[in-house]
Every structure is written in C-alpha cells, then in structure tokens.
Chain A
Amino acid sequence: MDPIRRVGVIGAGVMGAGIAAQVANAGIPVVLLDIVPGAAEAAVARMLKTEPAPFMHRAAARLVACGDLDRDLALLAECDWICEAIVEQAEAKRALYARLQPVRRPGAILSSNTSTIPLAALTEGMAAEAAAQFLVTHFFNPPRYMRLLELVQGPATRPEVAARIADFADRGLGKTVIACRDRPGFIANRIGGHWLQSAVNHAVDLGLTVEEADAVMGRPFGIPKTGVFGLLDLVGLDLMPHVAASMKAALPADDPYVRAMREHPVILGMIAEGRTGRKGKGGFYARERGPGGERLKRTVDLATGRYRDSEKPVLESLALRDLRALAGHPDRGGRYARAVLLDLLGYAAALVPEVAEGIADVDAAMRLGYNWRYGPFELIDRLGAGWLRAALAAAGRPVPPLLERVGEGGFYRVEAGRLEAFGLDGAYHPVPRPEGVLLLADIKRRSTPLARNGSASLWEIGEGVACLEFHSKMNALDPGTLEMLGTSVAMGRKGAFRALVIHTEGEQFSVGANLGLALFAANIAAWGEIEGLIEQGQKAMRALRDAPFPVVGAPSGMALGGGCEILLHCDAVQAHAESYIGLVEAGVGLIPGWGGCTGLLRRWAEDPRAPQGPMPPVAKAFEAISTAQVAKSAFEAREMRLLRPTDGITFNRDRVLAEAKARALALAEGYAPPPAPAPLHLPGASGRVALGLAVRQQAALGRATPHDLVVCDHLAETLTGGGRDPVDAVTEAELHALERRNFMALLRLPATLARVEHMLETGRPLRN
C-alpha cells in the first residue's frame, strides 16, 4: 500500500484546522487552505494558544503550509489525500470538488469531513474516476483527542482507496476507523443527536432541573459528567438547529429522530441572546460575578430561561448504582432515566443494519465519538434485553426485530475466551480486531494471570513476553504494586518469560504513589514504615533496570510521579502519543523518591547535545521537577528527556501493547542488562546556592510560595549531590540516599501534609 506522504485540508475552521494539526502531529506535511485570505495562518496561530492543544509539539506547526484557496489551489497538486472540511452545504462542496478536479494528481484521494450529508449527495454528477477516489472521513471534535473516525464508502469507491485511508487514519493518526453505511449522520451523530434531543425533551416534560438531568445522565449511564446540558454548552447551543434542519431534510418524516425534534422556546431565547454555551456568554451553566466580585455558579431554569444559583441535585434515585434499579425508581430522576433509555436503546436497536454492519461498530462509535463508557448494546446487556423488551411493550412502543431476536441472551458473550457479538443472522461472531492490535482485555478473557494481587497482575501475552498490569484506582502505586514488581522480576529471573512489558488498560498508566496511604502513615507517625517503602520502591526500580531480561514501558494517559519513575527505569519505552508524563511530587510538597531525581538528572547528564559542566543537567532536572511540569504529549516528554530519542511513539492506543511487545522481543535477542550507572560529577553546595538564587527571583515575582522555597531547597540539595565537592563523583546509591532523606524531611513538615490533604480532597494543588 502506498503511504500517504502529503495531505491537503480545505477549510480552516475548528475541524479542518484540527485535522491538519493531527496530520502534522503524525509528522506528515499538510497544506491547509481556506476561502478567506489569511484564515489558515490565523487558525494555526490560534491553535498554538489553544488548550487542550491541537498540536502535540510546537515543531508540528511548522509542517502546516497555509494558503488561500483561490490563490494557492496548486499547492494541492502534490497531495496524496485531500480532505474537505468546508461549510455543510452539498452544493458548495460539489462546486469545490469540480474546482479540484484539474488540480488533483492522478490517484489522489478526496474525502469530505461532512457530519450529516450522505456521500451519494456529494458525488452527484461526479466523474467516474473521481467518484472511485472519493469517500467520507468523518472526524470528531477535537480531532486530536477524539479517537473515532467514521468512514463511508460509496458504491463507486475503490476498495483500495478506503483501505489506504483507513490504514493511515489508524496507524498514522491513531484513529479507530468504523465503517458506516451511507446514512444521514452516519452512526454516532444519528444516535447521539437523537439522544440529545430526547434527553432535552424529557427533562423539560418531566420537570427536571438542568443539574438533575445531567446527574442522571452522567455516572449511571456512563456518559461524561457534562451530561446532556453540559454537552450542549460545550458544542454550542446554536449548532443544534443547524444539525436538526440538516437531519430533518435527509431522514424520513417518521424517523424517531425527526419526531423527537422540537423547538424549545427557552433554548431559542438563549440562542437569540447569544447565550450559546462556553464559546458565548454562558449557556445552561454560567459563571457570574456577584456584587462583591465573588464568583457565582449559575444555572438556567428550564421553565423560565432565567439564571438562578446552581444547586446540587438531591434525588433518591441518584444514589442507586444499578441502572435497572434507577430506571425503575418512581421519582422524577428514575422516570427520566427510563424515558431516555427507552428512546435511546429502542432507536439504536432499530438502526442495525441500517447504519452499521453490526452492533459492535455502533457501540465502538458511541464510546469513541461521544466518550460514553458503554455503547447502547452494552447498556442493553446491563439492563437485560428482556427488561427492555418488556419496558418498550409496556410503553406501547414497537420492539425492534434485532431486540426480539436476541432472546434471553445478551448482545455480547465470551465464548472460549473470546468476545463475541450477536449478529444479524442470529448467531454470535467474534468481535474482529484489526491486524496488529493486541488488547490486554482480550488476553484477560482467555487466560489466567501468572501472578496477581489486589493492585497488579502479571499476564503472559504470547511469544514468551509477560505484561505487568496495574489495576488499583487510577492505577495509584501502593505496597501491592511494589510487591508485584518484585514478583515479576523474580519470575523473570527464573525464566518464566523472556521479556516484560508494563502496560495498563485504564485511562491512566499510573497517577503515582497512593497519597492517601502516605497521609495515613504520616498521621500515625509511621515514619519507619514510610522510609521502608521508599527504600523498597528504589530497590524495585533498580531491580527492574538491572533484570537479566528487557523491560519495556508502554504508557498511555497519565504517567505521573511513581508512574514516571517506572518509565525512567525501563530499558525502552513505547509510548502512546497521548501520554502525559511528569514528576509532579513538588505539587504535594515532596520530591521524587523512587529514583526519579536521579533518573532525570542522568538523562540530562548523558545528553550529548546539552551544555557541558556540572550545572546544566542539574538546572534542567530542577526546572522540570520544581515546577511539577507534565509533558502534554509523548513528543513533549521527549523534549523533557523523560523519553529517550530511541523510545517509540504509537498513535493508536490499541496498537501500543503490540508494538511494545515487538520492541521487547527485539531487545530480548542477545539481551544484556545496562552497565552499572557511572557516578556523576555534580556541583555540590555552589549549585544549591545558584538554584536558590533563581528560586528567590521567582518568589519576588510571586511565582513561588513560601513552601515552594522549602521544597526547592530539598530538591536542590538532592540534585546537586548534597555537600559533595564537584571533583568527587556521586554514585547512584548516594543519590538515592539523598532522595530518601529529603523526601522524609519534607513529609514531616505540616505544610507538605497540608498539600497532600488538599490534593486528596480537591484534586488541586495547594499553593501554601
């Protein structure tokens, strides 16, 4: 398959610009054109200031060549793929395609990022050669972070064209590609748009407050905590009428989505006043300033459209964990849950096979496109198909044929260790995985762990490679994790496996040491135990690094504190591009104690490009650790030396484990553990003074708090090698002892404990 070497994106709105940024993130040059002169440049400049950042590193922005559509159309001649992301009007799009025809090079692929217009409408009147190269590639907002790509082929689309784009989107851009039928709104927006409409209608009809509706939709449904009204604020209330009009034009009048469409005077009034959500003057939720300048949280009253103070929802039904119990509760929360579930699940069950080949595609689309924890069919399995059938019948609603046919079984089952989904033919079929995808979830279904405790497990993942998995809450590290690290090394030493991968399935790789445990131990003054745990951690890290087999870290999401320290001790790292790595201990008034100070210091000391002398590595490590800096992508982690230049970066999360495994196997051939780390020449007391001067300048500007000064001094003492003279080399053992001593000294300070407590209670750092 020919690789995609250069991409063109037309339309520098939020979607077009975001798609261009993600292509650039993947290292592929991209041309970004807009009809408005200068708009593409402005979009790139804006993206460099946007949070969360569309670019994974600043250098990626240089891969985007900006231009004006009318003047620079010729720039598209070199592109292998041109992605159109202009205004949602079929006529405008078709006119643009006609203009591209003479420019496009033979074999170049053209796609539309339309979210609602069927492909058939876009290819009307298109030459056969062009239609063969055309498809719909529907990204979700924001394109860097949302993992779903809906792909629609027309009857004329060459299969190789779809395969080439799917491969690039998957491996290059990290998207999960879901093949959709050419129906309006494809999968996710058809189901999601209907759900939004229905959830608003029922909230109004049943008299729920905005907060109540969002609370019911949130945790019990497994939907992000923005719920329904918070989501509307996020995407913009004004977008809804446009989407509705477009869907109404394309769908039959008796489609439940069309029937659910209703104009709510309160919402129309909000749009007219510019209260369109987060981008406007507030939406259903708003932040206002009180008369004394205090911050007020306000919420719209759905009956009057006026703001009132926000309220915490109090409903008996909200305390229920079980979805079926919630949907059976008689209060308005329960009735709301039931009404929305019937609409959502009844509609979704009726849409297969209209919108997708199978139920697994529908569930994946909703999980990845709307960040739902469960897709509709997974929700049905949680409720029971029988329950749903009975509930639909009781409400006088039709029961979709697929729901009838599934009988008493669920839509999913595990058979001989494989996940299977109910098919249209009435039989169960294995849920297919793309080639090269290895999921720990699949391995776990078909095997038992080599070792396991409450915090971590060790799995065999094939070809003699083992995978160490954390599974505590947020994958926080505790004595159980350390014990399992030790067990893994011991088993590997005995030849239980050839190589080890450390990978977790949760959203985060690991948020670091369990602070709750540390606080508890400090409160009962169990200082000896705490210091023992620090020493045990350091030993475990060294054992990992010095083991006679290769260890490959495979993070995705946050790898903070102790999670980062584990990666610093791996032989290699194969990181998901969306890895957020950092030594954040200073945020809670501590310093890294499991070899993190030493590890980062060594990375800088061994960097041939860094300035020479005893101070530069110390200054670099100090800057990153004292400010608790977190890399916002794997590329930033490379710049911070938390990853080595030789560490790999994988864009598709589902491919991280397989690529880490391949890396581990490659290293296992003739593997020898790294040589003992050479002692470092560090600046000693003078370096500590120099760092202190820099920190005091920050304090004068109000950027460092009193306790920051204390933490920084302990960090400086550690990183400069204690009081050692610069002519003496400092060993790893000495540095680890310094880490321990300074960690313990800080943990005994009330100001540090106040930070730990505050972090546990609020999730935010205390600036004391």
Chain B
Amino acid sequence: MTDVVIAAYRRSPFQPAHKGALTRLRPDEMAAQVVRALVDETGIDPATIEDVVLGCAFPEGEQGLNAAKLVAFIAGLPEGVAGATVNRFCGSSMQAVHQAAGAIHLGAGEAFLCCGVESMSRVPMMGFNPMPHPGLAARYPQAYVSMGETAENVARLHQVGRAEQEAFALSSHRKAAAAQREGRLEAEIVPVEVGGQRVAQDGCIRADASPEGLAALKPAFRQDGTVTAGTASPLTDGAVALLVCSGDYARTHGLAPLARVRSIAVAGCGPEVMGMGPVGATRKALARAGITARELDVVELNEAFASQAIACLRELGLDEAKVNLDGGAIALGHPLGATGARITGKAAQLLRREGGRYALATQCIGGGQGIATVLEAP
C-alpha cells in the first residue's frame, strides 16, 4: 500500500469571533493566505497538487460556493488544481485528510492540500437559514440538540463535576499560555494580513485565567447546569492547511514528513451525547492500527467542552500527561471546520518534537459522531 504522510502543517492565528483581530477578514481570504504560505515554504510546484480539500462546518455566505476552489484561485494556484469543500461539522478538515489519504491509497493523486476554515464572526453557527426537518424534529428531537445541552448531558451521565471541568480548562489555558510564551506555537502560525494590519498571535488564550474567575461564571446553557463559557471552547475565527502526500512524493520533493497516517475511523453515537463521539472512533482506529491506547505517545483530543474531553479520556483510558501538550480548544479556540486539520497537524508535529512512535488525533462532532486518526512516526 502507498504510504500517506503529513508533510507540512500551518495555520492562521486563532482569534475570538466578533471581538478578535480576524473579525473583519473574509474566511476564503484567510484560508488562501495560509495555503499560499504553506505552498511557498514547502517549495513544491503547485501544479503537482491534485486537489484542495477544504473542511468547513457552515459552508455558506463568504465560505460558500465551493470555497475550496475559490481559495485555490485567491491563493494563486494553477487552474489545474481542483477543489472540494467537505462538511462533517467539527470533523470537516480531519475528513479532508481522510479523503486525501483514501485517494492516495487508490492512486488517485499524489499531493493534496487538506485545509479547514471557519469565520464564526461572519457566518453564524447554525448558518443564516437553519431549517430543520419538522417531521424528524418531532420524532427524534435529539437530532437537533444544541451543543451546550450535550455537554450538560455528558457531564451528568459521566459525573464530571463543575470543579473538575474548571481544573481541566485552567490546565488547558496554562499549557497554551506556556507554549505561547516559550515560542512553541510560532512554527505553526502564519501571520495574516487584515486591512493592512499583520496578525501573528493567538487571541483566545487567557494567561490570567484563575480558579476564582472560572468559579464565578454563570452556567451558559442550563440554569442548573455545570458548563460555563469558561469550560466550553470559544467561538473562533481561524484557518489551517496541511500538505498530505504519498511517501514517494515527499521523498522526490525533498520534504521531511512529520508523520505517517497509520489508520482512520469514524463512528456514530447518540446525538444527545455527541461529546462521546471520540470513544467509538478511537477504538476503531486503534484496532485498525493494531495498537492499544497505552502505546500512544501523543494525543490531541479536541476540547469542545471540558466535560466531554474528561469523559472521553476516562473512557478510553488515556494518560492525561500525553494529551494536548500545548493546550486545547478551550484555550486556543475552535473554528469548527478548521479544528480537525489543526489537531491532526499538531499531533504530527508533536510526535516529531516529543520523539514518540504513535499519535492519536480525535474529536467529537455535533449530531452524534466521532472521528479519529492514528499517526505513526515516519
């Protein structure tokens, strides 16, 4: 079988929606700036790229009209490069990696730009025109359950208390703040231009987060709930790009791969506990890789909410010391369609940095599913 490798990973700074520095930047432009930087740095001939696969959770408005192909134009890629926008909500850009991996295995292309983007400032979550199926809504209302409610459900069913969620969120901010302070995030961030200004730093991380501050927040979704804005990932603007290619392509183009894609999986679950999605997907992916959770050296588990992240860690028996080493989405932000590519790229980058053998990137997905990727050192 053809080897599939993650050859490069770059992302825009992640900034809080509505009040951050990327509020006034179109998402297609944002993604194109990251793509351009990635192509320039790898030095590859863009004409060798088969396809731009762009993950986006709400592909409408400025991120509609098959944004993938438009991003290719904005980034100045040749007309011969194709483009597909894929949607698996929060798993969209990990799905982009999976699609590319499948295509490479089939011999249907050598090099893919697997990207993700979401401007939650400019395209609202749920989109501009949410129009649920009335019959389904009546028969199976959980199909349209709100994300906050699922976080409360998971907290209740898995007995994750408020204090535990807050400790987890605080740790996420501390890890991210340390990574930012020590310059460990610089290698992955592409500064972007917004209205003549250069934005080079993440904006969601709170170095001053405190137990008292978190404890003072009101529940965000249920009056009697335990989940607050402090233990949920913030609405975020951001874009990510990965170069996913065959091992041969990497060798011929002088690229040093970060990691090899070892196995992939998706798995459905109850929409009302969508936060547990990573459990089923990870178990499948680990089985397909023929390894156990204990053999993982690095884990990137998306922090949609602290409650579901904690419950998944417990359920999968993952070692917290190996999880989200530079902080997770609660601190860094969660631009829905861009997160999957970020955690896949980050897991690959950390695998090289930490010198381990296996890494896992996994995330939960609204509507009731999970997605997972197992990586191996190249």
* Residues of A with C-beta under 8 A to B126: 690
- Known contacts A611-B61, A697-B146, A697-B148: A690-B130 contact under CB 8 Å: yes
- Known contacts A689-B137, A693-B144, A697-B146: A615-B219 contact under CB 8 Å: no
Q: Does A702 lie within 8 Å of B223, measured CB to CB?
A: yes
Interface residues of A in 605-642 (CB under 8 A from B): 611-616
* Residues of A with C-beta under 8 A to B133: 686, 689
Quick one: CB contact mask for B67-100 with A, threshold 8 Å, 1 for yes?
Answer: 0000000000000000000000000000000000
Q: Does B219 lie within 8 Å of A701, measured CB to CB?
A: yes
Q: State the Cβ distance, A673 to closest chain B Cβ, in Å.
A: 33
Instruction: Determine if B1 is an interface residue (Cβ-Cβ < 8 Å).
Output: no
Instruction: Determine if B195 is an interface residue (Cβ-Cβ < 8 Å).
Output: no
How far apart sit A686 and B138, CA to CA, in the bound complex (Å)? Answer: 11
Tell me the nearest residue of chain A to B219, going by C-beta. Answer: A701
How far apart sit A728 and B149, CA to CA, in the bound complex (Å)? Answer: 34
CB contact between A683 and one of B129, B137, B144, B148 (< 8 Å): that residue: B129
- Known contacts A700-B222, A701-B219, A701-B221: A686-B131 contact under CB 8 Å: yes
Instruction: Determine if A687 is an interface residue (Cβ-Cβ < 8 Å).
Output: yes
* Residues of B with C-beta under 8 A to A615: 128-131
* Residues of B with C-beta under 8 A to A686: 131-134
Q: State the Cβ distance, A616 to closest chain B Cβ, in Å.
A: 6
* Residues of A with C-beta under 8 A to B130: 615, 690, 693
How far apart sit A616 and B225, CA to CA, in the bound complex (Å)? Answer: 30
Q: Does A688 lie within 8 Å of B134, measured CB to CB?
A: yes
Instruction: Determine if A685 is an interface residue (Cβ-Cβ < 8 Å).
Output: yes
Quick one: CB contact mask for A454-474 with B, threshold 8 Å, 1 for yes?
Answer: 000000000000000000000
CB contact between A614 and one of B131, B146, B220 (< 8 Å): that residue: B131
Q: State the Cβ distance, B182 to closest chain A Cβ, in Å.
A: 34
Q: State the Cβ distance, A643 to closest chain B Cβ, in Å.
A: 24
* Residues of B with C-beta under 8 A to A689: 131-134, 137, 144
How far apart sit A701 and B128, CA to CA, in the bound complex (Å)? Answer: 23
How far apart sit A697 and B151, CA to CA, in the bound complex (Å)? Answer: 13
* Residues of B with C-beta under 8 A to A612: 128
Q: Does A613 lie within 8 Å of B128, measured CB to CB?
A: yes
Q: Does A614 lie within 8 Å of B149, measured CB to CB?
A: no
Q: State the Cβ distance, A561 to closest chain B Cβ, in Å.
A: 29
Q: State the Cβ distance, B328 to closest chain A Cβ, in Å.
A: 25
Q: State the Cβ distance, B257 to closest chain A Cβ, in Å.
A: 42
Interface residues of A in 679-709 (CB under 8 A from B): 683, 685-690, 693, 697, 700-702
Q: Does A687 lie within 8 Å of B131, measured CB to CB?
A: yes
Q: State the Cβ distance, A680 to closest chain B Cβ, in Å.
A: 14
- Known contacts A615-B129, A615-B131, A686-B134: A697-B221 contact under CB 8 Å: yes
How far apart sit A693 and B147, CA to CA, in the bound complex (Å)? Answer: 12
Q: State the Cβ distance, A79 to closest chain B Cβ, in Å.
A: 30
Number of interface residues of A (CB under 8 A): 19
Q: Does B129 lie within 8 Å of A685, measured CB to CB?
A: no
Tell me the nearest residue of chain B to A614, going by C-beta. Answer: B129
Interface residues of B in 127-164 (CB under 8 A from A): 128-134, 137, 144, 146, 148-149
Interface residues of B in 176-234 (CB under 8 A from A): 219-223, 225
Quick one: CB contact mask for A657-690 with B, threshold 8 Å, 1 for yes?
Answer: 0000000000000000000000000010111111
Q: Does A611 lie within 8 Å of B128, measured CB to CB?
A: yes
* Residues of A with C-beta under 8 A to B61: 611
How far apart sit A689 and B126, CA to CA, in the bound complex (Å)? Answer: 13
Tell me the nearest residue of chain B to A703, going by C-beta. Answer: B223
How far apart sit A685 and B130, CA to CA, in the bound complex (Å)? Answer: 12
Q: State the Cβ distance, B134 to closest chain A Cβ, in Å.
A: 4
Tell me the nearest residue of chain A to B141, going by C-beta. Answer: A693
Tell me the nearest residue of chain A to B146, going by C-beta. Answer: A697
* Residues of B with C-beta under 8 A to A611: 61, 128-129
* Residues of A with C-beta under 8 A to B221: 697, 700-701
Tell me the nearest residue of chain A to B225, going by C-beta. Answer: A700
* Residues of B with C-beta under 8 A to A690: 126, 130-132
How far apart sit A685 and B129, CA to CA, in the bound complex (Å)? Answer: 13
Tell me the nearest residue of chain B to A692, going by C-beta. Answer: B137
Q: Does B128 lie within 8 Å of A693, measured CB to CB?
A: no
Quick one: CB contact mask for B12-28 with A, threshold 8 Å, 1 for yes?
Answer: 00000000000000000
**Candidate in A614, A616, A685 with the most chain B CB atoms within 10 angstroms:** A685
How far apart sit A615 and B130, CA to CA, in the bound complex (Å)? Answer: 7
- Known contacts A685-B134, A688-B134: A701-B129 contact under CB 8 Å: no
Tell me the nearest residue of chain A to B136, going by C-beta. Answer: A689
Q: Does B222 lie within 8 Å of A701, measured CB to CB?
A: yes
Q: State the Cβ distance, B124 to closest chain A Cβ, in Å.
A: 9
Quick one: CB contact mask for B44-78 with A, threshold 8 Å, 1 for yes?
Answer: 00000000000000000100000000000000000
How far apart sit A688 and B146, CA to CA, in the bound complex (Å)? Answer: 16
- Known contacts A685-B134, A686-B134, A701-B222: A616-B129 contact under CB 8 Å: yes
Q: Does B144 lie within 8 Å of A700, measured CB to CB?
A: no
- Known contacts A693-B146, A697-B221, A701-B222: A616-B134 contact under CB 8 Å: no
* Residues of A with C-beta under 8 A to B128: 611-613, 615-616
Tell me the nearest residue of chain B to A683, going by C-beta. Answer: B131
Q: State the Cβ distance, A487 to closest chain B Cβ, in Å.
A: 44
* Residues of A with C-beta under 8 A to B146: 693, 697
Quick one: CB contact mask for B330-372 with A, threshold 8 Å, 1 for yes?
Answer: 0000000000000000000000000000000000000000000
Q: Does A613 lie within 8 Å of B129, measured CB to CB?
A: yes
Q: State the Cβ distance, B12 to closest chain A Cβ, in Å.
A: 24
Tell me the nearest residue of chain A to B221, going by C-beta. Answer: A700
How far apart sit A693 and B142, CA to CA, in the bound complex (Å)? Answer: 11
Tell me the nearest residue of chain B to A615, going by C-beta. Answer: B129
* Residues of B with C-beta under 8 A to A616: 128-129
How far apart sit A685 and B135, CA to CA, in the bound complex (Å)? Answer: 9
Tell me the nearest residue of chain B to A697, going by C-beta. Answer: B146
Q: State the Cβ distance, B121 to closest chain A Cβ, in Å.
A: 14
Q: State the Cβ distance, B33 to closest chain A Cβ, in Å.
A: 25
* Residues of B with C-beta under 8 A to A685: 134
How far apart sit A726 and B129, CA to CA, in the bound complex (Å)? Answer: 12
Q: Does B129 lie within 8 Å of A700, measured CB to CB?
A: no
**Candidate in B134, B149, B219 with the most chain A CB atoms within 10 angstroms:** B134
How far apart sit A618 and B128, CA to CA, in the bound complex (Å)? Answer: 11
How far apart sit A734 and B261, CA to CA, in the bound complex (Å)? Answer: 58
Q: State the Cβ distance, A691 to closest chain B Cβ, in Å.
A: 9
Quick one: CB contact mask for B97-128 with A, threshold 8 Å, 1 for yes?
Answer: 00000000000000000000000000000101
* Residues of A with C-beta under 8 A to B132: 686, 689-690, 693
Tell me the nearest residue of chain A to B137, going by C-beta. Answer: A689
Q: State the Cβ distance, A499 to closest chain B Cβ, in Å.
A: 40
Tell me the nearest residue of chain A to B135, going by C-beta. Answer: A685
Tell me the nearest residue of chain B to A691, going by C-beta. Answer: B130
Tell me the nearest residue of chain A to B133, going by C-beta. Answer: A686
How far apart sit A158 and B62, CA to CA, in the bound complex (Å)? Answer: 59
* Residues of A with C-beta under 8 A to B149: 697, 700
* Residues of B with C-beta under 8 A to A688: 134
* Residues of A with C-beta under 8 A to B137: 689, 693
Q: State the Cβ distance, A614 to closest chain B Cβ, in Å.
A: 6
How far apart sit A507 and B163, CA to CA, in the bound complex (Å)? Answer: 53
How far apart sit A343 and B312, CA to CA, in the bound complex (Å)? Answer: 80
Q: State the Cβ distance, B109 to closest chain A Cβ, in Å.
A: 35
How far apart sit A686 and B134, CA to CA, in the bound complex (Å)? Answer: 5
CB contact between A700 and one of B131, B134, B223 (< 8 Å): that residue: B223
* Residues of A with C-beta under 8 A to B134: 685-686, 688-689
Other contacts beyond A687-B131, A689-B132: 11, CB < 8 A: A616-B128, A616-B129, A688-B134, A689-B131, A689-B133, A693-B130, A693-B132, A700-B225, A701-B220, A701-B221, A701-B223
Ranked 7 nearest A-B pairs via Cβ: A686-B131, A613-B129, A702-B223, A615-B129, A685-B134, A611-B128, A690-B130
Give the interface of B toward A (CB within 8 A): 61, 126, 128-134, 137, 144, 146, 148-149, 219-223, 225
Q: Can you name 19 A-B pairs with beta carbons within 8 Å?
A: A611-B61, A613-B128, A613-B129, A615-B130, A615-B131, A616-B129, A686-B132, A689-B132, A690-B126, A693-B132, A697-B146, A697-B221, A700-B222, A700-B223, A701-B219, A701-B220, A701-B222, A701-B223, A726-B131
